[in-house]
Structures are given as structure tokens and as C-alpha cells.
Amino acid sequence: MLVAMWTWNVLFAQDVSFTAGVDKNPVAADEQFTLEFTVTTSGASPKNFRTPDFGKVLVLSGPNQSTSMQIINGSVTSSQTFSYILQAREPGKMTIGAATIEISGNQYKSNPIELTVTKSSGKKQQQAKSAQGEAVDIGDNLFLRAIVDRSRVYQGEQITVTYKIYTRARIVNYSINKLPTMTGFWGEELQLPQQVSLSNEVINGKQYQVGVLKKMALFPTQSGSLDINPMELTCQVQVQSRRRSNDIFDQFFNDPFFGAQTANVPLKSDPVKVTVLPLPQSPVPESFQGAVGKFTLTASLNKRRSKTNEPISLKATISGSGNVKILEAPKLHLPSDFEQYDPKVKEDIERTGSAISGTKTFEWLIVPRYPGDKKIPALEFSYFDVGQRRYVTLRTNEFNVVVEKGSAEAPQTASGLSKEDVRLLNQDIRFIKTDAGSFHQKDKELFDPVAAATITVIPFVAFLGLMFYRQKALSEMSDVVTFRSRKALKIAAKKLANAKQLMNANNSEAFYAEVSTAMWQYVSDKLSIDRAELSIDNVTQTLQEKRVSAELTQKIKELLEACEFSRFAPGSSSQEEKNKMYEMASSIIVASERELVR
């Protein structure tokens, strides 16, 4: 029920009154309020209502008309009301001019309204407009909150943010207008039941029905003071029609079965600040790659006895709670007589409940090239344990492997050469020569001196060239910044190719995650920004420092924001939008390669 205190000034002329009033005075800047003009007469009907001068007040709705009639002691009195929903723009004193109306050929003017507008309180008024255009003041009967389970965390530690709606009204439906953008966070949406279930909570002595609309696990990627941005939605609420008349018919129609109507109420949660502490700088284990949480490490071999050139499978599994998605494979340091391939990665992430947990498995294919008793070193994985506030290093056991000679053995003296199998065929018996062959005179030179010198010099020059090339390659690899920049395009192209396959397979969630990973890793490598310090603001600032064009900088910023948004709402996009995002990412990377030349 909308309760308002009205300020009225009345102008009487015989049996006619024409009044103007507002539901609140003073009002705050950007606050909505209602202005009504009411004409009451016992004679002819009014006509030719003329809008007043509203000055610096914004008209949101109106005029909305309503009429009523009263019969007292046989005398009939009719009233007609013209209402407006207005919004003050700036603080100060202002005047809403007089309206005019014509009754029986006579002109009547309402009183002007002297309005005092104060500074904005910074809070949006929960006010809506019904389908009939009537202003509905919800007050504190409906609001949206963002609640975090902790407001002070370490970098990489999980924060669970829950968006709850509190209501004392009947909600018919709701729609999300704007999802929260998470700058400075890696976000994973936690699964909730499709049907929102309501529970009861008491806030400031009032009992509310509470429903959870969205729950997310956030992992801060940088330290400092970070904001969790608001979520915006619109609720369709069933409310009672506002009537102030004492007429018995109005009272009858105010019955809940007749007076209910639907109003759209915009809701917005308040931003939440989180303090993120940096991880301790010392002592940091060499095997630490950014994992924060609580984990375990196991490893296994599929066999302990093998033959040369026969593959062996080595598996390492990391399990626990934390940002499982970003876990990287432990470093595998094999002896030189083993050949290893890039690991195959498999992940199983649990997104129910209030915390992200799961397992990530890395499987290497290793091939022994030479026989003997071999030893596979222990794997090592480090993480930061938030509960203990220290780094924890996990190690597996070493593996002993017996390698026997296989049917296709690599030569044991070929260290440093090609690892391809070498077979000796039809060379165990020398065939008997049937002809005498050719002979040379004893004192005659067997080789031409010029040819001999050429044959001697060419391999030496080739060896020097090979050494120079290798030294140059090692120098480039030692310059980590240059090396990452040169490899950025190749890595991004590979990830975008994977994203295209996911798009064709209609796997929206994985597609957006792959495009997001490709773009963030590309800008990290190309701009030499540490992954822990990646943010849209840092990327934009670095692009400006490198004198990248404003147009390309804006496109990169918009794409990164779109990636962040789409990761949280992949189901709402069409195939055309996914194609557009893929093409945009590809063209931006090509354009960046032209401008970001090292």
C-alpha cells in the first residue's frame, strides 16, 4: 500500500475547486515523486486541461487520468485527477507552474508548487509504475542483495558471492537485465536448482521471503581493493491499486480479488568491496605455479617393465578445492634417453555447493630409447594453503623402470642425434667381389688437393654456422619477454582453432571459455603482463603506453569485456553471436600483430 503525505492548496470559485499537490516536499535529486491536479465540481464537467510548466523537473509519466463521484444528501459531486510521475534533476529551489482547466466557459488555474530539491542520497528509490500508469512505492518490501562469504582474502583464494532477492510482495516473474561484470576476478558459476526455492529471514524486525537467484565462485587475480559489480533485474510484482476515495464502491473494488494489478520494479544490488592480500613473496617454492586452496597429488605408471621404443603412460592427478581450472602440469624432468610428449589433460570439476573442487589429470606418453635400469624422478607440486597461510609442497615417489632390448633398438652410441629407429639390413655379410676393380699408380696423388681442401673447409664452416644459429636461438629463448611475444600468435591461433571446433559442436560454455583464455593469454604474452596482474585496466594502459591506436585499444577492451560477460551467460547467445565473437577475436589478433612489432 502506498502511503504518502500530500501538500494541498485549494482555489475555490463558487462550487469548483482546482488543487495541485505533491506526495513529498522536499525531494532528493534523481528521486521520483508524484504530482496530482484535482478538479472537483458539482456542475458541468471540466475540459481543456492544459499542462503546466515543469521547469527543470523531468516528466517520466503522465498525465494519467482518473475520475470519482460522490452523492451526499442528494448532492452529486464529481472529481477528476490528472497525475504525473516526475523526477528532480538537480538540487535547489524550483517552481512547478500552474495548470489551467475550463469549466462552463470559465478558466481556472491551480496553485504553483514551490519545490525544494536536496542532494541525491545515492540510493535508488524502489518505485515502479503499474500497467495502468499509477505510481507504486515498494519501499523496503522488495530489494536485491549481493552477499559474500568473506571480504578479506588472499590472491587466488575463493570468494563465494550470492545474489538474493528479499520480498514481502508477491512476485509474478523476473528477468535479469544486466549480469555483474567481474574485473580482476576469475569467475565460475555455481549450479543452482532451476526452480527458485524460498526461505524465511528476519531483517530489521521484518520477515521476508528470500530466494537465491545466482551464486558464483570468484578467484581474485590481483591484489588490492576490488569491486564486485552490481546485478540488475526487473521484477513483476502484484500490488494493490491505490485508492483514497471513501466511496463505498471504491472500497468494494479495493478487495484483493478486484484491486490487484501488476507493476514492474527495477532492482539493483549494491557493489561489494573486497580486500585482496598478495601472496607471501618468500620463500616461494620453485614448483609453485599459482595454485591456492588445498590439494593432494598422486602419480602412477601403467607398467614398470618395458622394452625400448615401447611407450609408457605416466599419470599425475591433482585433487582438492580451489581454482582447479587453472592448475598447470607439474614439471617432468626425464633422463635424456627418454622421449616425452606433451601431456593429455582431463579435468572433472564439481560446481555444486558453495566451493569449487575437483580433479585434474595429466597423462604423459614417455618412450625409452635405450635398455637398462632407469629411474623416473619424483613429480613436485606446490600450492598456497590459506588455512595454514604458507606454501605446501607435495612430492610423489620415484619410479624404477626396467627397460629391455626391443625388436627395433636405437643405437646406443647415437646420443644427441635423431631418435628415429635404426635398422641394419643385409649388412652382416660382405659379398665376395667377382672383378678386380680399378687400380692407381703408387706415386700418383689419390685426391685432388683443391677438392680435398674444399671437402675439409665446408664441414668446418657449416659447423660454425650451426653453432652461431644455436647460440642465437638460446639467446632468444633466454629473453623470456621476447620469446613469449614471438610465441603469442602461434598459441592464440591454436586456441582459436580449438574454439572453432567447440563452436561447431555447439558447446557454448567451452567455446566462450576457450576464446576468453586465448585472448587473455595473448595479451599477457604480447604485452609482457604477468598473469597475476592481468586486468582490463592494465591491458588498456599498456596498449596506450605502446602507442597502439585508440580504435584497436577500444576493440580489445570491448572484446575482453564481452569474453568476461559471455563466460557467465553462454546460454543466452545465438550461433550468429558466437560466429561474430570468433571473427572479432581473429581480426583483432591479426591487427595487433601489425601494430605490436617488437
Q: Which tens digits make up the pLDDT trace of 365-398?
A: 999 988 999 999 999 999 999 889 999 999 999 9
Count helices and strands in the chain by DSSP H and E runs: 8, 34
| Local confidence band at 420 (pLDDT 50, 70, 90 cut-offs) | very low
Q: Which three cell numbers stand for residue 94?
A: 524550483
DSSP letter for each residue of 106-159:
EEEEPPPEEEEEE---S----EEEETTS-EEE-TTSEEEEEEES-SEEETT--E
Q: Among 476, 557, 489, 480, which residue's Cα sits nearest to residue 521?
A: 489
CA angle in degrees (0–180, nearest 5) for 335-359-507: 110
**542: three-class secondary structure by DSSP:** helix
User: Are residues 81 and 19 in contact, defined by beta-carbon separation less than 8 angstroms?
Assistant: no
What is the percent of the chain where pLDDT is above 70?
76
Question: Considering only 20-29, 218-227, 240-249, 567-576, which range has the smallest mean pLDDT?
Answer: 240-249
Q: Is residue 418 over pLDDT 50? A: no
Mean pLDDT estimate for the chain: 77
Say which residue, 297 or 103, is predicted with more confidence: 297
Classify 61 as helix, strand or coil: strand
Cβ neighbours of 542 (radius 10 Å)? 16
Under the banding of pLDDT at 50, 70 and 90, the label for residue 459 is confident
236 Cβ contact list (under 8 Å, min separation 6): 171, 172, 173, 174, 262, 263, 264, 265
**Structure confidence at residue 408 as a pLDDT band (50, 70, 90):** low
pLDDT, one tens digit per residue, over 204-262 is 777 888 999 899 999 999 999 998 888 888 888 877 655 444 444 444 444 444 455 77
CA distances from 211 to 143, 264, 435 (A): 11, 18, 100
- Go through the domains of the chain in sequence order and give each one's CATH number: 12-125 (2.60.40.10), 142-277 (2.60.40), 288-404 (2.60.40.740), 480-595 (1.20.120)
How distant is the alpha carbon of residue 388 from its chain centre?
A: 29
Closest CA to 151 of 229, 231, 225, 230: 225
CA distance 273 to 555: 28
Taking residues 507-512, report their average pLDDT.
81
Tally of residues, the chain: 598
Whether the Cβ atoms of residue 20 and residue 36 lie closer than 8 Å to each other: yes
Check whether 310 has a pLDDT greater than 50: yes
pTM over 0.85: no
Checking if the pLDDT of 421 tops 50, the result is no
More confident residue, 432 or 302: 302
Structure confidence by residue, pLDDT tens digits, 94-135: 888 888 888 887 888 888 888 888 876 554 445 555 545 555
Cα dist from 523 to 76, 106, 489, 545, whole Å: 78, 74, 10, 14
Distance (Å, rounded) from C-alpha 459 to C-alpha 457? Answer: 6
H or E element in which residue 568 lies: helix 550-568
Gap between the Cα atoms of 432 and 73, Å rounded:
144
Average pLDDT, stretch 53-81?
Answer: 71
